[in-house]
Amino acid sequence: MIHYDEKICVKCLACVSEAEFGGVTYKRGQIFFDKTNLSEDWANIASICPVAALKYVKEDFSAHKSKISP
């Protein structure tokens, strides 16, 4: 999961350039993230942000499993 802090973003567009599959786009002065795009390397995109406006948090699906009671 990618988290974006628009308040600290300097709109350098490095994330847009790094996105290989259209997961990050820039339109009318705003950056948009398609978080459903599983083809993108979100960790890499977040790592190139020079002001840390992007954070990548790997989702832990094991925490979402429901327990079955006896």
Q: Any residues with CB less than 8 A from the CB of 36 and at least 6 apart, and which?
A: none
Count: domains in the chain = 1
- Exposure class string for 51-62: b at 16+ Cβ within 10 A, else e: eebbeeeeeeee
- The model's pTM is 0.79
Structural domain boundaries, residue 51: 2-59
CATH number of the domain enclosing 46: 3.30.70
User: For residue 66, is it within any domain?
Assistant: no
User: For residue 40, is it within any domain?
Assistant: yes
Residues of the chain with pLDDT under 70: 60-70
pLDDT on residue 60: 58
> 43 with 2: CB under 8 angstroms?
no
User: For residue 8, is it within any domain?
Assistant: yes
Pair type for strands 30-33 and 24-27: antiparallel
